[in-house]
Amino acid sequence: MLPCPSLSRSGLHARRRTRGALRVHAVAAPIIPGKGECPLYRDRTGKLIPAMCADYGFRSGAGRLYQESYGEVPKDVWQLAKDNYRHELEQLRRAVRYPPSDVRQPSHPVAKALHTANGVVGAALASLDKALEEARVLPELQPPPVRSALETQEFKEIRARLDQLRLDADDVIAVERERIATGGGDMESPLWVKAPFYALCWLLDIMYDNKPIEKFWVLETVARIPYFAYISILHLYESLGFWRAGAELRKIHFAEEWNEMHHLQIMESLGGDRAWMDRFIAEHSAVFYYWVLILFYLVSPRMAYNFMQRVELHAADTYTAFLQRNAAVLESIPPPMVALQYYYSEDLYLFDEFQTASRGAPPRRPRCETLLDVFKNIRDDEMEHVKTMIACQNSTIAKDIAAASASSSSSPSPSATELPAPATPPKRAAASTVVEE
Ligand SMILES: [Fe+2]
Ligand SMILES: [Fe+2]
């Protein structure tokens, strides 16, 4: 691991001063850096906030939000599948032939056994790959790209700080127990809802022991699937003429899914999707999970919301425990650009739309100046999802929607009165992106 410098904010400020002459443009949006410069973001008040210099994720370009091809129409499915499988095959081969040297050893006994088994299978696959390459069945594999051009001093420092982040399952249990003790007890769920939830938690705790960002990335990959499943069923009911009262609900679930998608993008920018195996597990689990949730919602929408309330509560507890343990390190890291673009977005409609239970209160306009702020915002978003899931089970969601319609027709939106004119999301050059396994 690389040595980590002082974690104080003064160290970061010193680094900001050494970033060189940054060009500042009068634009209320990201400020695209020149060569050798780090990006800045101008918030709604005109304040300039330094963003994380690099992107530590696997994807770039059309694979990521707010990068090149943003908002464009995709190619046909065959071309996309072909591109993806070609890319992933190469990454799989590199993952077994050039395994990363900085993988953290797990501490849980089952996780250790899985880690050892993974090493044995990887070594066997590497031998097979070499044999197939020598037999000219597979093309010659190039080693991973040299990253020296991207590895600035700041890149290394932030990477070292990210590697210091820890998440302990016992901390999460302690937060959960405290919430239950101080919040009037645990929520009610039948056993058939509780059982898959606890199985999922146990599995993820073991598989992602000592890998918090990877765990959050997997969690956020599956976190938006239920909302997509609920939208699918509501859409189907509307098309079949069974139930058309759910159109407003569909809008709320889309806003929730949009919010979870940004959590996912933040975890990607921090490098949560670097390992081929993590991508394979999360993306295939998401497809399976979708169909399970479809069944859930068909049989009992109330229980599907109950299940999701548990999942969202667990997510909030996990982020709370993570924040408690890592506050100092998180405060020393600048926010990723995708977080700035979301939390300071001009698209206030979608951000306010999922916070159904907080209507009537002043709209949330969270601070986003460090990675600590980013994780606090994500935790607070998860709590908003919990409130919405409770409202969906108690049918108060209809009253919330009616109240929102009444208030929006009687008062101007905060975006019209308090904020500058919307800026078109700029097309940005891809940030420094690391492709590694
Ligand atoms: Fe989330
Ligand atoms: Fe969530």
Per the domain annotation, does 320 fall within a domain?
yes
- Domain end among 137, 155, 173: 155
Ligand nearest to the CA of 262: 1
Ligand nearest to the CA of 227: 2
* Beta strand 30-31 pairing with 40-42: antiparallel
- Domain end among 100, 121, 155: 155
Asked if 264 and 302 sit in the same domain, the reply is yes
Chain segment 175-204, per-residue pLDDT in tens: 999 999 887 677 888 888 888 888 888 888
Asked if 315 and 286 sit in the same domain, the reply is yes
Asked if 151 and 249 sit in the same domain, the reply is no
CA gap 52, 55 in Å, rounded: 8
pLDDT value of residue 269: 92
Asked if 52 and 101 sit in the same domain, the reply is no
**Mean pLDDT, range 326-337, rounded to an integer:** 95
Q: Which residues surround ligand 2, an ion (CB under 5 A)?
A: 223, 312, 315, 382, 385
Q: How far is the CA of 381 from the centre of ligand 2 (A)?
A: 7
Q: How far is the CA of 79 from the centre of ligand 2 (A)?
A: 32
Asked if 46 and 184 sit in the same domain, the reply is no
Ligand nearest to the CA of 308: 2
Judged against a pLDDT cut of 80, whether residue 419 lies above it is answered with: no
Could you tell me the pLDDT band of residue 298, with boundaries at 50, 70 and 90?
very high
pLDDT value of residue 315: 93
Q: How far is the CA of 227 from the centre of ligand 2 (A)?
A: 10
Q: How far is the CA of 92 from the centre of ligand 1 (A)?
A: 28
Q: Which residues surround ligand 1, an ion (CB under 5 A)?
A: 223, 260, 263
Asked if 274 and 326 sit in the same domain, the reply is yes
Per the domain annotation, does 424 fall within a domain?
no
Q: How far is the CA of 315 from the centre of ligand 1 (A)?
A: 7
pLDDT value of residue 102: 67
Per the domain annotation, does 125 fall within a domain?
yes
Q: How far is the CA of 419 from the centre of ligand 2 (A)?
A: 27
Asked if 136 and 180 sit in the same domain, the reply is no
pLDDT value of residue 7: 39
Q: How far is the CA of 382 from the centre of ligand 1 (A)?
A: 6
Per the domain annotation, does 68 fall within a domain?
no
Asked if 240 and 302 sit in the same domain, the reply is yes
Per the domain annotation, does 24 fall within a domain?
yes
CA gap 290, 115 in Å, rounded: 28
Q: Look up residue 415 and give its two tokens.
A: 């975006």
Per the domain annotation, does 4 fall within a domain?
no
Per the domain annotation, does 12 fall within a domain?
no
Nearest Cα neighbor of 248 from 126, 353, 119 is 353
Per the domain annotation, does 240 fall within a domain?
yes
Asked if 249 and 315 sit in the same domain, the reply is yes
pLDDT value of residue 420: 37
Asked if 350 and 393 sit in the same domain, the reply is yes
What's the CATH code of the domain at 236? 1.20.1260.140
> Rounded mean pLDDT of the chain?
80
Q: How far is the CA of 218 from the centre of ligand 2 (A)?
A: 12
Q: Quick one: three-class SS letters along the chain?
A: CCCCCCCCHHHHHHHHHCCCCCCCCCCCCEECCCCCCCCEEECCCCCEEECCCCECCCCCHHHCCCCCCCCCCCCCHHHHHHHHHHHHHHHHHHHHHCCCCCCCCCCCHHHHHHHHHHHHHHHHHHHHHHHHHHCCCCCCCCCCCCCCCCCCHHHHHHHHHHHCCCCCHHHHHHHHHHHHHHCCCCCCCCHHHHHHHHHHHHHHHHHCCCCHHHHHHHHHHHHCHHHHHHHHHHHHHHHHCCCCCCHHHHHHHHHHHHHHHHHHHHHHHCCCCCCHHHHHHHHHHHHHHHHHHHHHHHHCHHHHHHHHHHHHHHHHHHHHHHHHHHHHHHHCCCCCHHHHHHHCCCCHHHHHHCCHHHECECCCCCCCCCHHHHHHHHHHHHHHHHHHHHHHHHCCHHHHHHHHHHHHHHCCCHHHHCCCCCCCCCCCCCCCECCCC
Q: How far is the CA of 22 from the centre of ligand 2 (A)?
A: 37
Asked if 281 and 325 sit in the same domain, the reply is yes
Judged against a pLDDT cut of 70, whether residue 283 lies above it is answered with: yes
What proportion of the chain, given as a percentage, has pLDDT over 70? 78
Asked if 134 and 238 sit in the same domain, the reply is no
Q: How far is the CA of 108 from the centre of ligand 1 (A)?
A: 25
More confident site: 415 or 117? 117
Q: How far is the CA of 360 from the centre of ligand 1 (A)?
A: 24
Q: How far is the CA of 122 from the centre of ligand 2 (A)?
A: 33
pLDDT value of residue 284: 93
Q: Look up residue 14 and give its two tokens.
A: 């010193």
- Domain end among 124, 155, 186: 155
For residue 36, what are the domain limits?
17-63
Domains contained in the chain, number: 3
pLDDT value of residue 349: 56
Q: How far is the CA of 207 from the centre of ligand 1 (A)?
A: 19
Q: How far is the CA of 210 from the centre of ligand 2 (A)?
A: 21
